[in-house]
Structures are given as C-alpha cells and as structure tokens.
Amino acid sequence: MRSTALKKYQKLESPGLWREAPELQRREVVVAFGEASLTLSDPRTDSALSHWSLPAVERLNPGETPALYSPGRDALETLELDDSTMISALETVRGAIAAERPKPGRLRGQLFLLGTTMVLLLGASFLPGALVRHTAAMVPLSMRLSIGQMALADLGRVTGPPCADPSGQAALDRLAVRLFGPTAPQLRILPDGTALATHLPGNIITLHRSLIEGRSGPEVAAGFAIAEATRAAAADPLQPLLRHAGLRPTFGLLTNGRLAASAVEGYGAELMVAPPAVLAAEPLLAGFAQAGVPPTPYARALDPSGETVLALIEADPFAKEAPRPLMPDGDWISLQAICAE
C-alpha cells in the first residue's frame, strides 16, 4: 500500500477546491497526501491535474478555516481545504520542514566557524572537493527537493518544460511506483535534448520522449529509469551540481542553508553533453531483477548489435519467462501521448 510522509497514515485523501489561476473558477478535486507531494485529481476520471511538492507548500491564511494553500511563494494555483485531518497533516509536515531549516544565531555561527576551519586545514588546492562533499552530506531532504526543482527548471530551458499531459503523467507516476515501490523517484518526460536520461537531486529522473514514442512497450523507458536510479545510488547527484555552482554558492549553502537559482543556471546544458557514468553489469542487473524488468530491451536500445551489452542480454532472467506487465494497455496509451500538444 502506498505510504505517506507521516507514518501514522498509510493513505490520506480529502476533497478540496482547486483554482488553477486567479481568473479561473474553482473546481472540486481529490487531494492525495503522498510521501513527498500532494496529488490533485479529478474525482470523476481519477486523472491527476496537478502535483505539489510538500516542502514547497505554503499556507496563505494561517489560523483561518477553510485553509488556503499554494504550491509555492509565486505560484498561481491555490487549494482550499476544510478537512481537519488533511490540514493537520499538512501543518505537521510544514512545521517539520521549518524546523529543519538552519536558524540564524548560534548554529549559523558554528557552521561559519566550521567552514573557516575547513579553509585553514584543507588548503586552497583541496578545499573545493572537500567542501562539495561535506556540504552535500549536510543538506536535508527538503532542500534537496528544492534544489532538484531548480535544476529541472534550468534543464527545461534547454529541452523545453517537462511534458505535462495529466493522464500521461498519472500513468508515469504509476509506472514509477511499479518499478521502485513507495520511495519511487519523480519521473519526468522531456520533449527535446541530446541526453536520453538524466538524474537530479531530490530523486528526480528525466527521460527523453523518444524512449516512449514509437516503442512497442514501456520496457525501454523503464530500463533507462533503472539505469539512472543505479547511477544516482552510486554517486550523490548533488555533488556535480555544487561543483557547477562553484565555491561561493556552495559555501553559502553550507552556512545559511540557501542556494540561489542563479547558481544552477547552465547546469541543464552541462547535463545534456556530459557522458553518462559507465555502470557495471552486476549492480545494473540487480536493479532490473528487483524491479522485475527484462534488461534486454534496454541493452538493445543502447547497442542494437548486442556486442557491447552482451553481459546484460545473456544474464536476462526473463529471457524464457515473461515478467509481470509494467502497466495496463490504457496507461501505455496515455503515456505515449504525454507530450501531445
């Protein structure tokens, strides 16, 4: 069963009134409280209308009822809730995230002293790498999610914004859970770009639309998602982003818990030309086996001749036995149309 960000709730849903923009009318939605996001769905079709990142949710009318929320400080969308359980859950998460944020005063002074000591001890030649590793290890989940969204927005400047057909995205969300379980990464389909797949901080994986369109099934896209998840598990995705940001923004993130969006500019273009890290066959095959996905379609997509991916093809546990289907036919049809205009 799908879990939520709060352990006492296995599943939490409530009705709400969603307004996509101030000039539009409110509409009834079903609000589902997940591990890292709120999903707003049409109660008649169950199709997802919007996804809100939990760390970014803001209360617009503290102490008032019905409660009014937005998905971010500058967002146009609003959500009106009068379900006390849902409101309590949101306020609990918001309070926990606020408590995680660095506070001015003693803690900031200690972190500044720590950073200064690192400068003195490690020296200018060794400092950048050490600072990146130390900062990445200190960044909490809420900030990782925020940085990941900034990186995704910068990537969209190169590739175009992620494809956003609601039915297609809902199908993609279900595929992510099928592959990775309750802690599934956010999967996003990009309409353009030279990279077939990338991974970002905050557990975000992007896939090129060509991995879906013109394919006979979702196995190839699933394979690339598994490969990117394996890369993300092998090396912290935040470290290359901080190396791109540079010494001063990284030091600022360590000392005051903030990273300006300008520090991420250009990272998307860098990702498009960076060669993907080479993966050993053993951890990659373990990822395919755990997800119940045959590695052969992914291997053939990388090398149609099969010569350079023979280890994946020969070790395919599903060569003679078909695995459990990745998604219903209706979801696959919706997913193929996710980039339709």
Q: What average pLDDT does range 187-215 have in this prediction?
A: 95
Of 90, 92, 88, 86, the C-alpha closest to 71 is 90
Q: What are the residues whose beta carbons fall under 8 Å from the beta carbon of 185, sequence distance 6 or more? A: 176, 199, 203, 204, 205, 225, 229, 232
pLDDT averaged over every residue in the chain? 86
Residue 247 reports pLDDT greater than 60: yes
Q: Where are the domains of the chain?
A: 13-100, 141-336
- What is the rounded average pLDDT of the residues 115-129? 51
Beta bridge partners of 58: 70
Give the model's pLDDT for residue 72.
82
Q: What is the CATH topology of the domain spanning 13-100?
A: PH-domain like (2.30.29)
Is the whole model's pTM more than 0.85, yes or no? no
pLDDT tens string 231-241: 999 999 999 99
Integer Cα distance of 287 and 231 in angstroms: 11
114: pLDDT confidence band, cut at 50, 70 and 90?
Answer: low
| Helix extents (H) in the chain | 84-100, 106-138, 141-159, 166-180, 219-234, 238-245, 247-256, 267-273, 281-291, 296-302, 310-314, 329-336
User: CB atoms < 10 A from the CB of 175, how many?
Assistant: 21
